Amino acid sequence: MRTQLVGLTLPALAAVILFGPGALKSILTAALTALLIELIAGRIKRKNMPGNITHSIMMGVLLAFTLPGECPWYIAMTGSAVAVLVGKQLFGGLGRYRWHPALVGRLVVQLLFHEQIAAAVTSLQALCNWGDLRFVGSVPQLGLYLYDKLPSLQQCQWAAAGGGLGESCRVLLILIGLYFIYRGYLHWQLPLMFIVSACAAAAFFPIIVEQPGLPDHLIYFPLFAENLSIGFTYINYHLFTGGLILTAFIMTADMTSRPLTVRGQIYFAVSAGLLTIAVRLYCPAVLSAYLTPISAYIALLIMNTLSNIKCKL
């Protein structure tokens, strides 16, 4: 666990370089809040399992990684407190909780502080607002949408392209994930199948858009309706925007909230990848603004829930 926490210092450093002092404030606030809540819980329970404090600090840091760079400090503090107190301690503590604690905290602050979080995102982050698609005749112009509305793929891979602090440098996240695989914290099948299934869903799941001046919805398959270059660019944006890479390589390294067997982890990862894209494309309008930016986290929490049900059965 200490090795995992040390590994997270690299994305933290990248976040501070890219986002400035606000990133450092959010990460330190979340980590110190998690530490304080863990110490209080340990005093109340009158026991302290080895690794408890390190684990809680790691949950605080991961919570901060999911927040935008200019997020107010009280959101990081609230999310970290919920992660440790509700996500972890309420369900039995280290080794017994049912959902990834950091993602429980992230879901709660997304619901409580949606407007503040949305205002703190400095650039676009997800393929979701299909109402902005331009039409020529009755043909959507996906290439123009990708060019006008989203950062370059190079920014998505190496630099800040919207989203959370820890999502900023995707290549670095992949390298850390590979290190986790090397150390045995993560089976390689889990992130690989998560990414493959998400890319397959992006390729084959249709976009449903409203045609201007017409009451009917258009069922639109980007990979087949456009040329291959635009289609694969569309898939790459799904891969490199939002929290998909952070979830696939870092969040899934949590050993308590995932299945134990390799086969179970493959089912877990495939389902989570498909759900991530499904939430982005088909989330009801009333929930879209709340859930679409955290689609990968929602998918992982859903699979945590289904894994718990399966274990009980």
Task: Going from the first residue of the chain to its last (313 residues), give the mean pLDDT of each consecutive group of 10, the final group possibly shorter.
Answer: 82 84 91 92 75 89 90 93 92 84 94 86 56 64 72 65 74 89 91 95 84 62 77 83 88 87 92 93 79 90 84 48
Amino acid at 285: A
pLDDT given for residue 236 in this prediction: 83
193 and 296 in a common domain: yes
111 and 186 in a common domain: no
195 and 57 in a common domain: no
136 and 247 in a common domain: yes
pLDDT given for residue 147 in this prediction: 72
204 and 109 in a common domain: no
Q: What contacts 312, CB < 8 A, 6 or more positions away?
A: none
Query: How far apart, in whole angstroms, are the C-alpha atoms of residue 39 and residue 310?
Result: 33
115 and 128 in a common domain: no
Q: Could you say which of 74, 92, 119 is where a domain stops?
A: 119
Number of domains the chain contains: 2
pLDDT given for residue 304 in this prediction: 92
46 and 180 in a common domain: no
> 246: domain range?
124-312
| Long-range CB pairs of 175-180, under 8 A, 24+ apart, other chains included | 176/7, 176/8, 176/10, 176/11, 176/249, 176/250, 177/248, 177/249, 177/250, 177/253, 178/249, 179/7, 180/4, 180/7, 180/249, 180/250, 180/253
Strand 139-140 and strand 135-136: the pairing is antiparallel
CA 220 to chain centre: 26
150 and 102 in a common domain: no
138 and 89 in a common domain: no
pLDDT given for residue 313 in this prediction: 43
156 and 93 in a common domain: no
111 and 130 in a common domain: no
Q: Could you say which of 77, 98, 119 is where a domain stops?
A: 119
131 and 101 in a common domain: no
Q: Could you say which of 119, 152, 178 is where a domain stops?
A: 119
What are phi and psi for residue 218, nearest 5 degrees? -100, 125
